[in-house]
Structure 1
């Protein structure tokens, strides 16, 4: 995998909308955070645009992203927020610009479209808080993004979860939001997971739909041949009047139980309180013991 250059003080970071709209006022906390790290914020042309839910038209959002890819002085592109809309522009993005000048693409949730598509191109990306997330982000989440961007060693140690499947694994990290991974199945943005460690997380889903998505990942071969799995926050799940009968963790465990790889549940990344940064495409080591879990990136 191609690893973009780590950042240094004075580097420019562009903030752009690939999905929902984001105002200049909302961008201020993210601007101040970047400045506190010695970086130079650059507001993309889409910041402040208002196209109903979206931060500008599809054409405007794709053009802004391509502009930042083409600008060699911009060393990272920080997606403003998620929601929905990135898949509408992914085929209009000129990824030849990225291959000619690799740079970090940062975000989570709907930005999983880019994590998956760019992973297939062989370039690492950063799954972590977005500009919109800054006011509510924990210090640990912000610190982990800083460490990831500046090339610091990352070692996460978390407590044991009773559902964990113990073991050790090493492999490329791939994945992101479960709903987005599911929605990309059958497209050229769908990911190859064999011999990799798959990360999934999600928000605001009905339990029966989590079951549907996991079964479809399995039927498409995304679970077979995994080295390991990291399940982040499965946050604010819903049930029907007639209960589905299983929670999200039980649903996922029932699907992976047929395979022989370690799994950690409730890892502090995703839509929950904590959203620790993950270098997607990096070779990581995962060690799940009864005493706790260690992830080295």
Structure 2
């Protein structure tokens, strides 16, 4: 099996790639990780200019000798190329799995909107840097290589449709050509490094946009590294989620084991079949 790795947003370091290669060689010696050199490019904030990131993603996705696409890192930049990149993908790309989270939710959303069947929210290469990052990387490989159910979020319900996003990322893509149809889905969201007032603002947008469209429910992942504001917001993250769900008629279905951390579990988009 050959897994292609690209960075549609921000770059990783060669040391990250080497650490992940070394780990994979022990746990999965039969696979080959193909890092596009674009992963290490730097152009201002981004892993190369827009056209460079676009070309790397499309080329890797369309290669018939690549079995899956694993995103290197989040950050910002994927929305600048997602629509055009997915439109340029061929049937060779449709059979591949695509795995990532955070800013890569822009691409996951567009792929899912366009009917790609193997799209999942889960750990990326850059997670190797985290405390216990090796566990996150191995979990990603367990899913990419073997679709190991143990790598997935344990609360996924058999027969239900799921989708997962970083809350701010989802809020920003609603109403754009990247937005997928989430009617009938259990939506799972997480957040990192946002003030609670910004979290509340994003929840307002997501809940009022998607509530009338028939979400099956919402689960809240971890909300971490919340900055301290100059005054208390007055509600914690779960209270905010419950409040907006109640206001908009969305069933609040509890917490979920996802987040910007090494414990981040995998959530395949679409219909879940246990076992």
Would you call these one fold, judging by a TM-score over 0.5? yes
Q: Residue 169 of structure 1 contacts residue 227 of structure 1 at CA under 8 Å; is this kept in 2?
A: no
Distance in 2 of aligned mates of 1:40 and 1:157: 28
Task: Please tell me whether residue 107 in structure 1 is matched to residue 100 in structure 2.
Answer: yes
**8 Å contact 2:16–2:129 — kept in the other structure?**
no
Residue 128 of structure 2 corresponds to: 134
The secondary structure found in structure 2 opposite 1:21 is coil
- Return 5+ residue gaps in structure 2 as ranges: none
Name which of 265, 278, 282 aligns with 2:267: 278
**Is the alpha carbon distance of 1:224 and 1:94 closer, same or farther for their aligned partners in structure 2, counting shifts above 3 Å?**
closer
Q: Does 1:172 align with 2:168?
A: no
- For residues 38 and 189 of structure 2, the distance between their equivalents in structure 1, rounded to whole angstroms, comes to 29
How many angstroms apart in 2 are the aligned matches of 1:175 and 1:191?
12
Residue equivalent to 1:5: none
Determine if contact 1:193/1:223 at 8 Å carries over to the other structure.
Answer: no
- Structure 2 residue 173 is the aligned partner of structure 1 residue 184: yes
Tell me the TM-score normalized by structure 1.
0.81
For residues 91-148 of structure 1, the C-alpha deviation after alignment (integer angstroms, 9 at most, x for no partner) is 3314452544321111110000011111111223121111111242456534432332
In structure 2, distance between residues paired with 1:200 and 1:105 = 18
Structure 2 partner of 1:218 = 207
Partners of 1:116 and 1:175 within 8 A in 2: no
Partner of 1:74: helix, strand, or coil? coil
Q: Is the 8 A contact 1:116 1:190 kept in 2?
A: yes
TM-score, scaled to structure 2? 0.87
Q: 2:82 aligns with which of 90, 105, 108?
A: 90
Counterpart CA distance in 2 for 1:71 and 1:260 is 41
Residue 157 of structure 1 and its aligned partner are, at CA, apart by 4.5
| 1:50 Cα deviation from its structure 2 partner | 1.4
TM-fit CA distance, 1:24? 1.8
Partner of 1:151: 147
Higher helix share: 2
Structure 1 CA distance for aligned equivalents of residues 10 and 153 of structure 2: 31
Q: How many residues align?
A: 266
Residues 182, 157 of structure 1: alpha-carbon distance in 2 compared, 3 angstrom cutoff: closer
RMSD: 2.3
SS of the residue corresponding to residue 212 of structure 1 reads: helix
- Stretches of 4+ moved more than 6 A in 1? none
Which has the larger strand fraction? 1
